[in-house]
Structure 1
Amino acid sequence: MEVDTPTSTARRDRLLDDSSLSHLDDLVSVCADLRATLAAAIAARKANPPNIPFQSTPHLSAALAPLFRVRALYRTTLAHTRELRREAQERKGEVDAKVLELRNVEYERANLRREIALCEEMETVYQTIELVDMEAFMNAAPPPMTAETDPHKITLNRLEFEKSERMRLTKAQAELEQKKQKLTEEILRKQQELDKLDETLENYLKGSADLAATLDVKVDPEGVSEAVRNLPKPLYVLYRHLKGYQQSLGPNALFNVDLRPSVPPPRPKPSKDSKESFDEELLSLYSRHATEVVMAIRDSSASALANFAYLPRLGFVVVSSRAPPIDKNLKFKDVLTCLWPGDDGTESPVPSTDFLLVNNRPFTFSPEDAGGYAYSWAQHLCGIDFVAPVRQRDTVVAPWIEGEGGRKRPYISRVVEIVRLRLKGLQALHLHLSILSRNTIPDVNFPGKVPTTSKLISWRERELVDSDKAHQFNATVQARSTQISFRVLITAEYPLVSPVFEFDLLKDASAMDVDGDADANSAFKRTPPDDSEEASEPATENAQGEATQRSPEDPVVTALRAVEAGVNRPAVELGLPVGDSRLLPVQLNRTLQLLDTHLGS
């Protein structure tokens, strides 16, 4: 590319200067003189008499000088034009070079931007690796690592810290694995010693039988020793545990354990016209041991019986319970269901049954055919250790759920305590529901109780398809000039699990399904409304009884969300002990308090 120099600049200025075009002015003046000369010659010709020859030589001599001058100026003009064209070509080349350079720069800039974007969008393993969060890194990492301010260096330091932590944890895991291996070997060794001890004790008992007969000593005063001795191992373990627990409580304890002949569940007989027949091979899997263990748990005004039967072919224990009906409207199928979360006993607790085939079909456990439920906690009580541990309650923290050593397995004392809590809760629930049927909230004392202006004006039960698992009630509250409707779902785990309150207005505002349940009651399907009045019942009504439509951004909807969040809490967050029988009335009173607070503001 040509660069401007003082010489080229001066030449361009000279060519473009007005003084450099003086030859054009000269050409104009010469042309004017030539026209004047020609005009004078024409005039002389016209004035010349016809009979006298015209003398043109003087006029031609006078015109030659201007013609020569025009020719010289023409050459000068051509030279100047060529110079201007050459200069213009040079300037065009410079401009083209500049344009090309500009396009090169723009292309290079676009290429750099594209490379930068690719670098920013590039995914590396360091972006997906799970690192310690920033707050934990700043608290746990050494000061030299946390003093950096450059994001790149901070990321490098976090990776280095993550590496050191993983190496430390890997080393600790290896040490714990070694410790676990040693403990496992020690447990196996002691287990073998215990097995030998059982055999030794059995020999001692057999050897002492003749001596007891000779000395007339009654070794079996209750007459059940032979029956206990014939029990299968799971029921034997359970019986000894229950018997020891009964003896530890004393003679006046509201707890008893006994043995009785096992009674198989009744089989319905098909009618003569029916072509159905029972699969004998399938039913043989549910054959029971001849003896079952009966546990009786009594409370001040209620009791429950639990029958433990062993299924030898399946290798686990099923439990059936009997409790006097507290309320004919409460249709909970079993007071033992879901003592621990999700443990409803409807699935086989033994993994090996997944591989059973009956008539070339996979085996599926049926509590009705087995005559009982295969609860996981029952398997643990019977010493069946390969069953997965029962799941703990995340929202219920109490000594009978957790201890200082972490999560604990279910023991007899905890099972008895939970059953008594449930019996007491069901009795209280029966009383509370009878009061609520009169559109009155039961008067109970609890921390933080204050008078409310909102009142309960309607309470009625709505039938559910799975009424043996949960009961749902529709309630309406008069809060100032508005009637607010909500649903209350009470599961079979009451009072260990709080009832779920769900406001109708929030469902309408969020455009949910008409029959959609909350997360806590999504397993229960409701039957359609029996009448059009219930189906068209508005979520809120004004003082004139007219239905109102509200958007999700409405302040009332926002207030009801806060009320719903404040009510749907576990008992410990409501200021009550775990399993307290006042749970439902306290939640209802808290609903009225929160409605007064939020709707008033």
Structure 2
Amino acid sequence: MSTKIQLSSKKRRVVSKSGESSTSSSPRQSKRTKTSSERVVEIKPKASYDEERETETQSINDDLQLNKETCAKIQSLFKEIKTLKESGRSENAATIAEKRAAASVLFVTLKKMNRLSQLRCKKARDMTQTTKQKVDGLHLQLQNLLYEVMHLQKEIKKCLEFESSDEKIELVDVATFYREAPLDISMPSVTEKDPHKQRLARLDWELEQRKRLSEKYDASESNRDLVAREIKSKQEYLESLQPRLKSILESTVPVQEYLSMPYDQIRTQHQMARLLPRPLYILFVQSSAYSEACDGDLTVKIEGDSDTASASMSTSVAIEEDSDSDNEENLTESKRRRKTVGDKLEEKRKKVLAKHPLQVVMQLTFQGEAQLVLTFSYLIELKVVTVVTELKDSSAAKALQSDLLSPKTILNALYPGDDGAESPNPSNIFQLQRIGIDSWSTFSESVGSPYLWCQWLSGLDFLQCDDTKGMKPNTCLSSSHMEATVKALRGRIKARLALQKQVTLVGQGNIPVPSSTVKLFPSKLSSRVVSWKPITEEAMMELDFVLTHPLSENIDSSSFFYSFSCERKSAKVQGVVVLKEAYPITPPIFLIKLIWQNKTHMAASDHDILDMEAEVNLHSQELITAKTCEYLLSCQLQRLLQCLDVYLEAASAEEASRSPGTQVEFPKEKMFVRNTRYGLNKIIFQPPPSLHPLFLPTPNPPFLSEELFLF
């Protein structure tokens, strides 16, 4: 070996930058190194740049091969040292030390290989970083170029899409321009060949026209100001004139009252009529016209809050703005108190059942006896007209509190089938179900009853309209029903007042019979009415002669029921009267039971009682005329007493003929030829129930226009 270096295991050889070693090796050690038979790397002091240069000249594969060989030699030296130490010979110490020195030298070689690999790695990183910087620089240049391209494209697009202000001006067409423009502006010889100059000439002509229009506008403005000043002066004059006219009208109030010409009230009513909804407006106009032309006892007026009605006629936009502001104001209240489900439902009900602030009040006077007051209201959401009925100053009502004159039912069935229990507007069913209302009767006391004739008088006809929202009131419909409805109202109230009078007098034992019908009855009637009182339907249906009667299942619960008793000596009659709401168009029905000689005679078992009922019920039109139809109940009751006398006298005469010498309880006072009908025994002929006269149709009376209904 050329050189050997003895290194300590705890010290390292430091190589200075000048390339000289900090500790020089001794000649002896160099000699031992040279004589070594093993391959030892000769270490010469080199600077750092020499190793860098070496990394460039020496390949990586050679360094890898040298690293593997060095590791293999170090491994073999360790094995040999281990073997020598295990032999335990003292003469092997020198050999072990020599081999240890050789292994240390090989470690120095490994450290060099490590430095070379670190240098190569650092160099690769530096090259990579340099290349990355170059790539980033090129990418930045590319981004700058792309941004410049995009900017240029935007500028190009702006230039292509540029519109001059003159393009927005609507110019006259070319033919009109050359026809109307003067030659000094149009210059046809120049502009016809050059579109640009033609455009400029057309713009000049447009400018000239606008200048003329501006001068004309200024002149119109000055004229308008002059007219406005004149209007203002006249308006000031009229405003100063209004208080004078008002004072003059106030001074004429005593004259109006003396001459019964209330012009102020009429003017106020007409002003309020403008605020009415369309249906109530038609009702007011038609009823006022009918009152003025045909019925002086009919008065019509408008009542309610006109200020609220005027505010409700604001536009929908204003309503929305108000609702929004109200919601904002109520935000703090909603934070303090949250509304329950019941409160929200109650608010919905109030909104759906809300009435218009103005109402039309119609008043019918009946010869000083009574006054019928009808208050018509319009439900804004439900779009129907309702009426509240009130009967004032009725002496009959004061004498006897009866359901006959009850405002709730007095106008029921004014027309057949119209009881005001349901709304004629089909959409109301769904609107009421949404707020939890199943029947109109639950709130009819507060809003009134929606009778069908109320809709007719207001021009509403829901039966012919599929879309109630788009429905418009019809004035012709109101005028065609006005006269008939007013007459029906008068007829109903007159009939009820007369009926109440009859009920009161019959309860006192007197039967009022009109003078024109007295000749239809005998001058003397022995039977008399001993009791008369109202009765409920449940109590009536518990009576044996009603329960077994063929017509008991067809009795209408909306009717009025009265029980009465008649007697003549030992014979007693117990009966009930069913009064329909449409009285006297529908005659009262009498159901009776006769108790005589310890026997009970009822219609279900005795055809004579059935014949008496048929005589009273089916032939009632023979007892009255067109002027006395209100007293139908009294005439029927009088006919019943007549039939009872005839029956008792005929039965007594028949018994006397069968048993001569017996005492006759009821002597013959009425004139009749024979005791039995058709000359036969009374019990021989009995028509079946289906053919009984009570079930047969009855012709209409000549003075009634409505159909007769028994039950």
Q: Whose Rg is larger?
A: 2
RCO higher in structure (CA 8 A, sep ≥6): 1
Q: Provide the TM-score with structure 1 as the length reference.
A: 0.47
The structure whose residues are more often helix, as a share, is: 2
